[in-house]
Amino acid sequence: MERRIVSTTILVEWSDNPKPVVLNNDMPNGLANDFDDWLTEIEEEEQARLMASYKSFIDDKEKMRDFYILSKQEFLQSYSYLTELEYDLTVQEQDNE
């Protein structure tokens, strides 16, 4: 499961009033492209961080037995302490073998 940035808001503080205000101006195209690239980099870094903190359960014989028998939904309900990401990592690792 990938995390994606779905929305951004640019806040500015004017010199005469330090209260943050939402900026509604259109962003110039060149800057918009750079901003989109920057957000993509942030998403990739976040995905790498998430992947590093979760592991597959491919070496757990009991879980793998159920993995082959149960649907994804049934498996995640049965092992409620596991995340969908851990399940998906196991599928990827299984596919690579």
Q: Report d(CA 7, CA 59) in Å as an integer.
A: 38
pTM for the full model? 0.58
Domain extent listing, the chain: 11-53, 61-96
Q: What is the pLDDT along the chain (97 residues), one digit of tens a residue?
A: 578 999 999 999 999 998 999 999 999 999 999 999 999 999 999 988 887 788 899 999 999 999 999 999 999 999 999 999 899 989 988 888 7
Q: Report d(CA 45, CA 48) in Å as an integer.
A: 5
